[in-house]
Structure 1
Amino acid sequence: MGERVTPPPGGDDGIETINLRDALEERYLAYALSTIMGRALPDARDGLKPVHRRILHAMRLLKLDPGTAFKKCARIVGDVIGKFHPHGDQSVYDALVRLAQDFSQRYPLVDGQGNFGNIDGDNAAAYRYTEARMTEVARLLLDGIDEDAVDFRKTYNEEDEEPVVLPGAFPNLLANGSQGIAVGMATSIPPHNAAEVCDAALHLIANPGCTTRDLIAHVPGPDFPTGGIIIEGRASIEEAYETGRGAFRTRARWHQEDTGRGTYLVVVTEIPYGVTKGRLIEKIAELINEKKLPLVADMRDESAEDIRLVFEPKSRNVDATLLMESLFKLTELESRIPLNMNVLMKGKVPKVVGLKEVLREWLDHRREVLIRRSQHRLAAIDKRLEVLAGLLVAYLNIDEVIHIIRTADEPKKALVARFDLTEVQVEAILNMRLRSLAKLEEIELRKEHEELTKEKQGIEKLLGSEAMQWKTVSWEIGNVRKQFSKETPLGKRRTTFGEAAEVDVDAIAEALVEREPITVVVSEKGWIRALKGHVQDLSGLAFKTDDRLKLSFFAETTSKLLVFSTNGKVFTLEGAKLPGGRGAGEPVRLMIDLEQEHDIIEVTPYRGGRKVLLASREGRGFVVAEDDLVANTRKGKGVMGVDTPDELAAVRFVEGDHVAIVGLNRKLLVFPLNQVPEMARGKGVRLQKYKEGGMVDLKTFTLADGLTWKDSSDRTWTVSQADLAEWIGNRADSGRLPPKGFPKTNRFG
């Protein structure tokens, strides 16, 4: 590398040299901040992002109040992008559409007329075809905006003004929720029940020191516009609301409809929030075609206004709960809806907050709005009282006032000098109409003066007392609570709470696999495959070069297979996941984590409930329950502890009451099985004593039936109980040479 040359400072050509890293950091930070503040995160006070706030503000200026005539959405979008929001028209319209969808918003802010999309995932019509106006909820959010309740700022082109935040008389952040992805942070707040949020807010006003647990008594969990059942545990929900981070497992609502003669249908009437029905149906149809939902024969979408998905079971014997559990496991009929309460506090600081903090922020905002509206009203009253005082002076001295106005060169100055009036009062007197000189008008003015004076005293009292302010905020929230109470169609809770049905995990796993017979084939070199059906004749099977058949057995696609290795570990494979029988299969080592220096000694189907005798090369062993052998991971389960060069050498399913064991020294020993301990794992105990060599073979048998073996000619030999007397001993004895006819291989066959 040569010497680093520093570029010269900027010259007359106007080029300035700056550090690339600093420039990138500065620009990326500016972009990140604008995304966080101006696009993706909602304000904790009104629960709105800037685009939604600007849409509502534009609709207010267009006088689209609830109950008024609808206006084209094109007009609204045009005003929003022309005056307040310099972004794409489609993004603004998408935001407007979402505010009108009753399956997206728990309490829609926009009342739409025309095609605003549907839960199937179909898009809304273009904005030239649709019309909109505000709902009562939007009116509540804007309530008081003309009364200096919130600050305004210049718009992007500095021609107009827009509100920094809305007064927010409705608890919109929690009631409607919010989703957004910014730079380096995201937010996800599910919708809640407005009446419950109001109850929690009222409780917080009455008990500022309350805990999250106290608030959860009022807000037990989200309330989704699409209904469903939340099956999340109470402890998990409490932690989520405490920290502001968590998730809610939500399931579809379903019921069973009997169709006579023992047959039935399963009908889903509500699906989890945020799930597109069209995509859900496609996914389920795909799974049925791929035979991954063997309990489901057919599915139909009979939805009209309401959702109705009909599932037909494969047979009348299928358990409906098990059928649904298999659907919940594989499809979005069960969905995990996240909670990440990342919001802008005071409209400036992004922060993940809990339920209590977010309610406190809304309440503090409501109190500030109350104070500002009261001060605005107070200023208006003072101004009017000033005018009224001047008018009353004029009424009391009406003849003199008229004389001054008719004769004086500058009546304004003359009136000020004569009656000690202000500029505003004189202006009001000069603007009086002759018809208002009636006696009745004077009485009205006195009455108005009294009422306004009384109202002024009330407002001053309110502004001077924090307790009174909170009482007023509580009264306002109480009115909102009444308006959206659970007795109203809109306020009624749609999402309920439940628990997942207790279903055997193995039963679900089995339900997800089509049950078919297979023949498992394992080669000497550890390659495994599953032939379709129970194949008796395996003579035609092809193997890789220098490889041949080691073992085979019948099983089913739903079977679990136990794989025993020389290092004393047991692995579990699933019959459904075995490679097909067209080729040579796959090495078992690809499916399990087995070291290269160890081999597989046995593969057998798991049936459950049996006992297994394990024995090592050095003649140690123990009995283990088959149920303790099932492993859940690729790493398997260490069952027998063996130290090299010793290794696990024999796996025998226990049958009978005695053990026959033979060593390399060709000595046979028979002893009672009850002398072998049963344990879940360990090194085991000595089964037979050897001076040198080790164990070759062992078997369990019933002594009364005698000991059998097969010789090299495949003939079966049996030695009766009486003839076995000299070989029967105790565990750990040496044994003696076997009876005549015992195979030279030292194996029982």
Structure 2
Amino acid sequence: MAGVQTVSIAQEVRTRFIRYAMSVVTGRALPDVRDGLKPVQRRILFTMYNDSNLTFDRKAAKSAQIVGDVMGRYHPHGDGAIYDAMVRLSQEWVMRVPLVHGEGNFGSVDGDPPAAYRYTEAKLSAVAGNLLGELDFETIDYRDNYAGNRREPVVLPAQFPNLLVNGTSGIAVGMATNIPPHNFAEVLKACVVLIDNPDATVAVLMEKVKGPDFPLGGKIVTDRATLRKIYETGSGSIKVQGEWKEEDLGRGKSQIVVTSIPYGVDKGELEKTIGGMIEDRKLPQLLGLSNETNDKEGLRITLELRPNTDPALVMAYLYKHTDLQKNFAYNMTALVPLEDGKTMVPRDGLSLKDILQHFLDFRFATVKRRFEYHLRVLRRRIHILEGFAVIFNALDRAIKLIRESSGKADAAEKLKAAFKLDDEQTTAVLDAQLYKIAQMEIQKILEELAEKRKEAAKIEAILASKKKLWGVIRDEFEALTARFPERRKTRMAQDEDVLEFDEEAYIVRENANVVLTRNGWLKRVGRLQSVESTRVKEGDEVVAVIPASTLDHVAFFTDDGAAYTMRVNEVPATTGHGEPITKYFKLADGAKVIAAVTTDPRFTPADVPDGGPYLLVATSAGNVLRIPVALFRTESTKAGRRFVKLDDGDKAVMAKLVGAETGVMLASAGGHLIHFSIDSVNVVSGAAKGVIGIKVEGGDTCIGGVLVGGRFDKLQLETEAGKEQEFGPGAIKVQNRGGKGEKPGVRTKFARVLPPPIELVNWDELDGKAPRKAAEGDGASA
């Protein structure tokens, strides 16, 4: 069929996606390294300057009008996107140096949205003039707008590195940018350093650019060496904290006043988070919060303290658990020009020097074009003045020729022929009123002519010397720095400013019982009169009660060989059913908790001379091992840690804390029992397969066991017939591990090992007494 072309759909999709991706990268998401703006921002500023004349010294116009002009003339991507971009350009908590002056409700640092554009007004800020002021001097190139009926600038003739001063963020296709704002004066001083010393390193430039300077203040606690690496590589993480001070309220009372917050933090959400901590008593040292922010004193979030509370401890906790401390992901990605100076391509990993050098190269070209424009204007004026000077010397003759001519065209031809003038000079003479020419004094003409020639010669000398041109740029930077002497808002923290977080300082030490049910539900209760008195879900039952203080940890061991440790204080305190353990840890599908151990030294002594205490582990394959409990005393990740290595189909069936016990009895499903010494079981330093404890053959498996020599050293078993059998230490003779053991009954087969009874701790008796050994009855094992 005519007009139909067969193409590869894969190739066509690839081609079109690449075209789309490059359009997003270059036309929407990434800023230009030269003026630091994205297309929508550039079009907003250009419209306000060129089309609406909304300079800082003019009256503001309705935002709806500005948005409509931008959308209709240059940016047909929707009014919402344009207004959002304009609002952002005006927000002083977002922009280090706002480029738009907004009047009306333009949102707030509390996260309040701006009013609709029909209610607000805007104009350019004073600083924005330094991005746009040289447009009138033919300093940059223009291109057609989307409709082809107007011309828009490719880039603005920025007089300062806006990309660094105001920063930006954006997500393109396959790349993103996140550049923090910097101090206006510091950045310009760094430009001067680079002009004077083109070989200056990033370390040298950082003597001027100390680090980011966020509009909300705060303090940067990232060390200088890390900052230098970030500025050299163009990527990294910068840690920022809010600032605070303590105020004495008298009568032993005091309060914390937060005076700044990290960049990008929603103050309203921050207050909600801290308020929730106070309400949930996660931070008992805090009594209340109030927002006292005002125009005179600036940001003030006051936190009421309990008497005799160390405010540094409270702030360390807030830095750890709220957005009062936040990491800024530095990612220096921007559009940079190729060697032709016009083609823009995305580039990541730009260093501080790269950014400044690209801007200086652009600034050099811009100032050169500005001088070339001024020189053209001067030469044109000089040319006109030279024509007036020629005419003035023979004014009567010129007037006579004009009078005798038949019209303007005839007069022009006669003047050109008589005085050797060109068209431009002749037109200027004819356009001048004769009485004004008559009144002209030749001296004034000659003085202006000499002045213009002198000025033109000065510009020619500057254009002929790179050194002089750089000198002009340098002087302009210094003048701009003096005009906008912005002081730093963000402080570079000293070592003594960094607060170390000590979690235990915020936890009230209390005795507690961690209750674990068969279905994996957890809760923390204080005193427990009986196991039967605590609430559990219907059909569920308590399998362990683990005693510990809120400052200690509890470790859970599952049959798939994983161990999970959490602080007792993090276990939900409730008289209800509690929470599923899967809320806190990522247990494998079907994994079941087989044991739980407390790390409270009153029950599980620490620093035992031989490296103990140990956990004796048995697997369904009949293997046994001893592993130090010390490996599980600290918090684990949600994924947990391994405590035993298992083959496919194998699982852990016992994990018991070894105290004074000397032996172990194991049982198999096939009805075999074995009794051997604990000392014959190897101690491992980490997860291992272990050694053979009981030999199982012909499909038989180990189902668990009991430690012998402690308070509960009777092996209680349930047979397949549902009967219970009990074997004391003397019932099975001690032999070497690794054998099949004894078979008490020819036809007896065991279904499961029955757990020992759960004994509850009497805290009143225990408090103040010396630590005692752990026992299963204390809930040391599930």
TM-score, normalising length: structure 2: 0.75
1:398-455 deviation per Cα after TM superposition (whole angstroms, max 9, x unaligned): 2222233233553322332232221222222223323334576311110111111111
Greater shift after overlay, 455-464 or 285-294?
Answer: 285-294
Distance 1:328 1:435 in 2: 80
| Residue 357 of structure 1, aligned match among 354, 358, 363 | 354
| Residue 513 of structure 2, aligned match among 509, 519, 526 | 519
**Matched residue type, 1:68:** R
Q: What residue number does 2:152 align with?
A: 162
How do 1:659-738 residues align onto structure 2 when only pairs under 5 Å count?
A: 661=662, 697=708
1:130-159 deviation per Cα after TM superposition (whole angstroms, max 9, x unaligned): 222222211111122111111112222222
**Matched residue type, 1:369:** T
1:169-207 deviation per Cα after TM superposition (whole angstroms, max 9, x unaligned): 122111111122223322211111010100111111111
Q: What residue number does 1:632 align with?
A: 636
2:43 corresponds to 1:54: yes
The 8 Å contact of residues 520 and 528 in structure 1, kept in 2 or not, is answered as no
Q: What residue number does 1:219 align with?
A: 209
Residue 393 of structure 1 and its aligned partner are, at CA, apart by 0.9
The 8 Å contact of residues 44 and 362 in structure 1, kept in 2 or not, is answered as yes
The 8 Å contact of residues 364 and 473 in structure 2, kept in 1 or not, is answered as yes
Residue 95 of structure 1 and its aligned partner are, at CA, apart by 1.9
**Matched residue type, 1:575:** V
Q: What residue number does 2:598 align with?
A: 604
| Residue 111 of structure 1, aligned match among 101, 114, 120 | 101
Q: What residue number does 1:343 align with?
A: 334
Q: What residue number does 2:763 align with?
A: none
Distance 2:434 2:330 in 1: 67
Distance change >3 Å, CA 506–CA 93, structure 1 → 2? closer
**SS of equivalent residue, structure 1 residue 220:** coil
Q: What residue number does 2:565 align with?
A: 572
2:67 corresponds to 1:74: no
How do 1:57-206 residues align onto structure 2 when only pairs under 5 Å count?
A: 57-61=46-50, 62-206=52-196
Q: What residue number does 2:321 align with?
A: 330
The 8 Å contact of residues 559 and 651 in structure 2, kept in 1 or not, is answered as no
1:649-705 deviation per Cα after TM superposition (whole angstroms, max 9, x unaligned): 86456xxxxx88568899999x9xxxxx9997799xxxxxxxxxx995468xxxxxx
Distance 2:149 2:629 in 1: 82
The 8 Å contact of residues 518 and 530 in structure 1, kept in 2 or not, is answered as no
| Residue 494 of structure 1, aligned match among 481, 489, 492 | 489
1:695-733 deviation per Cα after TM superposition (whole angstroms, max 9, x unaligned): 95468xxxxxxxxx8999xxxxxxxxxxxxxxxxxxxxx
Distance 1:291 1:662 in 2: 46
**Matched residue type, 2:476:** E
The 8 Å contact of residues 615 and 648 in structure 1, kept in 2 or not, is answered as no
Residue 544 of structure 1 and its aligned partner are, at CA, apart by 10
Distance change >3 Å, CA 552–CA 122, structure 1 → 2? closer
The 8 Å contact of residues 106 and 175 in structure 1, kept in 2 or not, is answered as yes
Q: What residue number does 1:468 align with?
A: 468
Distance 2:215 2:498 in 1: 24
Residue 263 of structure 1 and its aligned partner are, at CA, apart by 2.2
Q: What residue number does 1:507 align with?
A: 504
Residue 220 of structure 1 and its aligned partner are, at CA, apart by 1.6
The 8 Å contact of residues 71 and 132 in structure 1, kept in 2 or not, is answered as yes
Residue 301 of structure 1 and its aligned partner are, at CA, apart by 1.7
**Matched residue type, 2:346:** P
Q: What residue number does 1:690 align with?
A: none
**Matched residue type, 1:632:** S
1:296-354 deviation per Cα after TM superposition (whole angstroms, max 9, x unaligned): 332222223322212223x3243322222222223222222222222111362111122
Distance 1:166 1:748 in 2: 76
Distance change >3 Å, CA 697–CA 641, structure 1 → 2? farther
Greater shift after overlay, 26-35 or 629-638?
Answer: 629-638
Distance change >3 Å, CA 649–CA 453, structure 1 → 2? closer
Greater shift after overlay, 103-112 or 114-123?
Answer: 114-123
Distance 2:537 2:61 in 1: 76
The 8 Å contact of residues 558 and 591 in structure 2, kept in 1 or not, is answered as no
- The root-mean-square deviation of aligned C-alpha atoms, in Å, is 4.4
How do 1:162-561 residues align onto structure 2 when only pairs under 5 Å count?
A: 162-305=152-295, 306-313=298-305, 315-346=306-337, 348-352=344-348, 353-408=350-405, 410-437=410-437, 441-485=441-485, 491-498=486-493, 501-507=498-504, 510-511=506-507, 517-521=511-515, 529-530=522-523, 532-538=525-531, 552-561=545-554
**SS of equivalent residue, structure 2 residue 127:** helix
Residue 570 of structure 1 and its aligned partner are, at CA, apart by 6.7
Distance 2:64 2:561 in 1: 73
The 8 Å contact of residues 544 and 584 in structure 1, kept in 2 or not, is answered as no
The 8 Å contact of residues 597 and 657 in structure 2, kept in 1 or not, is answered as no
Residue 110 of structure 1 and its aligned partner are, at CA, apart by 1.6
Distance 2:533 2:431 in 1: 115
Residue 71 of structure 1 and its aligned partner are, at CA, apart by 2.6
1:557-593 deviation per Cα after TM superposition (whole angstroms, max 9, x unaligned): 4431245799999752332444767559868999587
Distance change >3 Å, CA 300–CA 399, structure 1 → 2? same
**Matched residue type, 1:147:** F
**Matched residue type, 1:404:** L
The 8 Å contact of residues 606 and 613 in structure 2, kept in 1 or not, is answered as no
Residue 648 of structure 1 and its aligned partner are, at CA, apart by 9.1
Distance change >3 Å, CA 592–CA 560, structure 1 → 2? farther
Distance 1:102 1:568 in 2: 55
The number of residues matched between the two structures is: 673
Distance change >3 Å, CA 662–CA 68, structure 1 → 2? closer
The 8 Å contact of residues 535 and 575 in structure 2, kept in 1 or not, is answered as no
The 8 Å contact of residues 617 and 696 in structure 1, kept in 2 or not, is answered as no
Distance 2:651 2:551 in 1: 37
The 8 Å contact of residues 321 and 501 in structure 1, kept in 2 or not, is answered as no
Distance change >3 Å, CA 146–CA 698, structure 1 → 2? same
Greater shift after overlay, 188-197 or 419-428?
Answer: 419-428
Q: What residue number does 2:32 align with?
A: 43
**SS of equivalent residue, structure 1 residue 162:** strand
Q: What residue number does 1:730 align with?
A: none
User: Sequence identity, in percent?
Assistant: 34
Distance change >3 Å, CA 369–CA 405, structure 1 → 2? same
Distance change >3 Å, CA 625–CA 187, structure 1 → 2? closer
The 8 Å contact of residues 142 and 151 in structure 2, kept in 1 or not, is answered as yes
What are structure 1's unaligned runs of at least 5 residues?
1-8, 486-490, 654-658, 672-676, 684-693, 700-708, 713-746
Residue 363 of structure 1 and its aligned partner are, at CA, apart by 0.6
Distance change >3 Å, CA 434–CA 416, structure 1 → 2? closer
Distance change >3 Å, CA 638–CA 629, structure 1 → 2? farther
Q: What residue number does 1:743 align with?
A: none
